[in-house]
Amino acid sequence: MRQPGSRLALLALLASCGGGGGDKTMVSGATGKPAEQAPAGSAGALTGAGATFPNPIYTKWFDAYNKQTGVRINYQSIGSGGGIRQFTEGTVDFGATDGPMKDDQIAAVRGNVQHIPTVLGAVVVTYNLPELGKTPLRFDGATLADVFLGRITKWNDTRIAGLNPGVKLPAADIIVVHRSDGSGTSFIFTDYLSKVSSEWKSRVGSATSVEWPIGLGGKGNEGVTQQVKQSEGAIGYVELIYAISNDLPYATLKNAAGQYVEASLKSVTAAAGAADLKGDTDFRVSITNAPGAEAYPISSFTWLLVQKTPRDSAKGEAIRKFLVWMLQPEAQRMAADLHYAPLPVPVIELLQKREGA
C-alpha cells in the first residue's frame, strides 16, 4: 500500500540542507524552551522528538555519532503523534514517526517535509500467561482482531485453542492493553488489523490514535510493556526489542501466505521485499501483511521527518551529515544488535543515489 505524496528527492534535500553556516548551533528544545549552547569542543547540537518504536536504536546511534563527531543529538521518545506535532510546530529540528504524515498534515507545513526511512522493525503481540512459560502462542489476523474488538474475552476460547492444539490455555479473562498516546506503533498494528479484518477496518480503522473498543492504555512502548508485565492475563502490542528486553513471550503470526512466522531480522527483511520503491515515491509505504512465505505480517519502516527546505542552513547541514552517516554499513549493522532490520541494500542505494553520495 502506498500513500499519495510528493516525490522524495534526497538529492534536492542535500542541496537545500547545505548552507554557509557552521555546525555549532543554538537549538530549540522539544518543549519550546530556550536552547542551551553546545558544550565547548562539540561540533553542534540537534533536537528531535517522536516515535518510541525506534528509540533504542536512535539512542545507540546518537551516542555513537556524538563520540565520532562531537555533535550532540537530543531525542525525546514521546510517541509518533507527539513527534509529528513538535515537527509541525517547529520546536524540534527533526521528528520521528512510524505512522507517516497524512497529506493534510504535510499541507500544514506547506509540504516542507521529507520522510527518511531509517530501519525496519516488528510489532509483536506479547502476553502474560505464566502457566505457559515460554510457549509461543499462535494467532491469525482475524482472531487477533476479534480479541482487540472485545469479541473474544477468554484465553481458552475455542478459536484461540483451535490455533494452538496441545496448549493448555487458562480459563482466564483477556486483559487488552493498547497505547494511550498518539503512536506509530498503533498505526502499524491497526494498519495490519484493517487489512485482515473488514470489521476492524469499518469500526476502528488505522491511525496513530484510534477509538479503542476495549482495554487499558499505556503510554509509549514502555508503558504497554509494563502494563502487560504487571497484569496476568494481559495481551498487548509492542516493538520487538521491548518484549525481548523485558523477557516477555510474543506470538507467532499467520501471514498472508498462510505460514506461521516469528518476528526476526529475516522475516522483517522478507516483508520489506514487497515494498514498491520504484519511480515516484516519498517512502510512505506500508509493508504490513506483505506477501511471501517468510514475511512477518506486522513489519514496518520507521522514518525521520526532516525539512525539505531547512529554515536554518546550519542545522540543515548537520542533519544532512547525520543522514549520510546513518546509511553507512557500520551504522546499519548496529540495528541488528537491537533486533531491528537494517534497510535493504536497494533502499540504501536508492537513497544514496538521490543524495548524490
The enclosing domain of 21 has a CATH number of: 3.40.190.10
Single out the residue of 268, 307, 305 nearest to residue 51, CA to CA.
305
Give the pLDDT confidence score for residue 275 in this predicted structure: 78
> Do both 242 and 322 map to the same domain?
no
> Do both 162 and 99 map to the same domain?
no
The reply to whether 277 falls in a domain is no
The alpha carbon dihedral of 99, 112, 315, 89 has a sign of negative
- pLDDT greater than 60 at residue 60: yes
> Do both 91 and 163 map to the same domain?
no
Q: Could you tell me the pTM of the whole model?
A: 0.83
> Do both 116 and 152 map to the same domain?
no
CA 114 to chain centroid, in Å, comes to: 16
Q: What is the pLDDT of residues 222-242, one digit of tens each?
A: 999 999 999 999 999 999 999
Q: Structural domain tally of the chain?
A: 2
Residues facing 305 on adjacent strands? 95, 115
Q: At what angle do helices 55-69 and 313-326 cross, to 10 degrees?
A: 110
Give the pLDDT confidence score for residue 244 in this predicted structure: 95
The reply to whether 274 falls in a domain is no
> Do both 112 and 162 map to the same domain?
no
Give the pLDDT confidence score for residue 281 in this predicted structure: 56
> Do both 114 and 139 map to the same domain?
no
- pLDDT greater than 70 at residue 347: yes
CA 31 to CA 33: how far, in whole Å?
Answer: 6
Range from 32-41, 51-60, 145-154 carrying the lowest mean pLDDT:
32-41
> Do both 73 and 16 map to the same domain?
yes
The reply to whether 351 falls in a domain is yes
Q: What is the pLDDT of residues 64-79, one digit of tens each?
A: 999 999 999 999 999 9
Domain boundary among 269, 293, 328: 269
The reply to whether 4 falls in a domain is no
**pLDDT band of 95, cuts 50, 70, 90:** very high
Cell numbers at 70, concatenated: 562531537
Q: What average pLDDT does range 279-284 have in this prediction?
A: 66
> Do both 133 and 112 map to the same domain?
no
Amino acid at 30: A
Q: What average pLDDT does range 12-36 have in this prediction?
A: 33
> Do both 82 and 154 map to the same domain?
no
Sheet order of strands, 252-254 included: 138-139, 252-254, 260-261
The reply to whether 153 falls in a domain is yes
> Do both 220 and 333 map to the same domain?
no
Give the pLDDT confidence score for residue 356 in this predicted structure: 52
> Do both 133 and 247 map to the same domain?
yes
The reply to whether 3 falls in a domain is no
Instruction: Compare 143 and 348 and report the one with higher pLDDT.
Output: 143
**pLDDT band of 278, cuts 50, 70, 90:** low
Domain hosting residue 60, numbered range: 10-120+301-355
Q: What average pLDDT does range 244-262 have in this prediction?
A: 97
> Do both 127 and 247 map to the same domain?
yes
CA 194 to CA 217: how far, in whole Å?
Answer: 20
- pLDDT greater than 80 at residue 2: no
Q: What average pLDDT does range 276-298 have in this prediction?
A: 84
Averaged pLDDT of the chain: 86
Single out the residue of 239, 286, 221 nearest to residue 79, CA to CA.
221
The reply to whether 350 falls in a domain is yes
The reply to whether 279 falls in a domain is no
Give the pLDDT confidence score for residue 353 in this predicted structure: 72
